[in-house]
């Protein structure tokens, strides 16, 4: 399991990893039968060992993800909302 000191690092790292890559990591750590019998285990990220995930990323050539910032979608500040509300609702 994840050590207390790695919780924040793990959360930041998971935010940078595409879900398909995280699924591949899971599939390498656990066989399909175990995953099917224990789906609740994989609803959170407590099953992930930080060091094992870092090793996996390094081995698979994705070490650059470890230094990435989480991908957070940025919206334009000036969005035209006029099409979203009827003219009578705009004050």
**Is 80 inside a domain boundary?**
no
Whether 9 and 50 have beta carbons less than 8 Å apart is answered as yes
Range 34-57 average pLDDT: 92
Is there a domain that residue 88 lies in?
A: no
Q: Which residue has the higher pLDDT, 69 or 35?
A: 35
Q: How many domains does the chain have?
A: 1
User: 11 falls in which pLDDT band (50, 70, 90)?
Assistant: confident
| 9 belongs to a structural domain | yes
Q: Tell me, yes or no, whether 12 lies in a domain.
A: yes
Q: At residue 2, does pLDDT exceed 50? A: no
Instruction: Give all strands (DSSP E) within 1-91, no chain letters.
Output: none
**Residue 33 belongs to domain spanning:** 4-67
* Rounded average pLDDT over 19-35: 94
Task: Report the pLDDT value the prediction gives residue 27, as an integer from 0 to 100.
Answer: 95
- pTM recorded for the entire structure: 0.62
Asked if residue 1 has pLDDT above 50, the reply is: no
Quick check: is 72 in a domain?
no
**How many Cα neighbours within 13 Å face the side chain of 44?**
6
**Domain presence at residue 74:** no
Place of tokens 């050539």: 61
pLDDT for 30 beyond 90: yes
């Amino acid at each position: 399991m994840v050590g207390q000191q790695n919780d924040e690092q793990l959360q930041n790292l998971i935010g940078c990893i595409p879900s398909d890559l995280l699924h591949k990591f899971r599939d390498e750590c656990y066989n399909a039968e175990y995953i099917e019998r224990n789906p609740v285990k994989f609803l959170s990220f407590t099953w992930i060992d930080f060091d094992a995930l870092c090793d996996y990323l390094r081995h698979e050539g994705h070490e650059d993800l470890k230094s990435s910032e989480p991908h957070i979608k940025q919206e334009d500040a000036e969005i035209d909302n006029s099409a979203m509300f009827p003219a009578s609702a705009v004050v």
